[in-house]
Structure 1
Amino acid sequence: MAKNNDNRDGMSREEAGRMGGQKTSKTHGKDFYQEIGKKGGNATSKSHDQNFYQEIGQKGGVSTASSHDKDFYQDIGKKGGKSTADSHDKDFYQEIGKKGGAATSDSHNKDFYREIGKKGGNSRRSD
């Protein structure tokens, strides 16, 4: 694709876009960006299926994993856990615990539970 560097003011499209973005950011606040983000997200969801989101999520995960280390993930995990704890109560945790237990029960057999029981028992003995 040919690069168009000749617009009316003699600047490249990239320069014009950057300058326009900077001007917009000075004249619009957080609400503006949230609103256009929501509109864009809704439009994208109408034109793409679940496979699209799985694919871009996987690509993003691979990209993030290649540029961050274990400490990064521990840090964001702690932040996420604290944020969740600050905004949810005991009932929330009981509900997600029940859902998680049911999902695990549906996808595992008795051997799985024996194995994790042994591991848990051995772990307590070494304390």
Structure 2
Amino acid sequence: MASDRDKNSDESKRGFASMDKDKQREIASKGGHASHGGHESQDKDRGSDRGSDDRGGGTSKRGFASMDEDKQREIASKGGHAAHEKGTAHEFTSEEAREAGRKGGHAAHEKGTAHEFTSEEAREAGRKGGHAAHEKGTAHEFTSEEAREAGRKGGESSHGGHGRGGSHDESSSSSTRGGTSEQHAKAGSQSHKNR
């Protein structure tokens, strides 16, 4: 004998679960796009006698989704500024930002969604990035001390971790194609004089 639960199982299904398997497959194959268009036709297909405002397949809209499209556009056009004006935006500490950036890059690479730059694209992006920051006035202007430090670190990196005072013998026959840390520091401080 069937229990009350078995008798009512079809009645208790709502939304996506109440659709036949072919309809579920069709919607699932569209990914998230199915929920962003053609809502009225879905209501008609199901014989819904609900109003045309019920576009969520049996779910109730809340928050941003419940607002009319003009209000959504207005808020979206402000980007994150609306949340900052209301004081509801999360202010990241520099540590949180570093961690999020680190995870973000790793997550995109693990999921396969990160854009792999060709060396030409990377050069072009780097060139534009530096120019854009300088034109906007947002580029960090290094002090001569910062330039020396960056040059020293750059020299260490290009020489396998051997900087000034390390076990690397600069007078040996090994390559110094990247230049010495002193040369890096001098180049860094000179580049800021030319602006």
Q: Normalising to structure 1: TM-score of the pair?
A: 0.49
Structure with the larger RCO, 1 or 2 (CA within 8 Å, 6+ apart): 2
**Structure possessing the higher radius of gyration over alpha carbons:** 2
Structure (1/2) with the larger helix percentage: 1
Q: Normalising to structure 2: TM-score of the pair?
A: 0.36
